[in-house]
Structure 1
Amino acid sequence: MIAVNYTTLRENMKSCMDKVTDDYETLIVTRKDNKNVVMISEEAYNNLMENIYVVGNRANYDWLMESKAQLEQGDFSSHELIEVPENE
């Protein structure tokens, strides 16, 4: 996580945005009166929204937790993938 003030962001917008997108950094823009802003990449934002949606539904959350517990207990199986020709 990186913190910069508004003036520094304005003077270094491209490099700050590159850090956010290329290095997956979260950037906090500090402002007067503690009215700070957080900058994240679109990819990170979309991931966050998907996670909120998935765990926001109680049935989905319970299913994920049950699957996680099964995996941790070794209750799973693996299978070889079957390659299907492109013309099928």
Structure 2
Amino acid sequence: MKAVNYSELRQNLKANLDQVTDNEELLVVHRPKGKSVVMMSLAEFNAIQETMHLNRSITNRKRLESAIENINAKQGLVKRQIVE
């Protein structure tokens, strides 16, 4: 994570934005009176939003944790047959 002040951000705007988007790096921009902000790429933001959405439901979170445990145990995923 890189940190810059507001003046440095403005002076090197393209380079700073390129670093955020190309390297998926967070950029902390320090502003006066402690009102700092964090810049991140849209891809990173979307990934965080998706993770939060998937973990919002306890049932879904448990299902995901179980799937991860199965993968780590090399058991793979079990296909369920739909009975009509």
Tell me which residue corresponds to 2:48: 48
1:20 and 2:20 correspond: yes
Q: TM-score, normalised by structure 1?
A: 0.81
- Stretches of 4+ moved more than 2 A in 1? none
Unaligned runs of 5+ in 2: 78-84
Shift of 1:73: 2.2
Unaligned runs of 5+ in 1: 78-88
Matches of 2:31 and 2:47 in 1, distance apart? 27
Q: How high is the sequence identity, in percent, across the aligned residues?
A: 34
Once the two structures are superposed, residues 29-85 of structure 1 have per-residue CA deviations (whole angstroms, 9 ceiling, x without a partner) of 0112221100000111111100110011111101001111122223226xxxxxxxx
Report the aligned-residue RMSD.
1.2
Q: TM-score, normalised by structure 2?
A: 0.84
Count matched residues. Answer: 77
SS at match of 1:76: coil
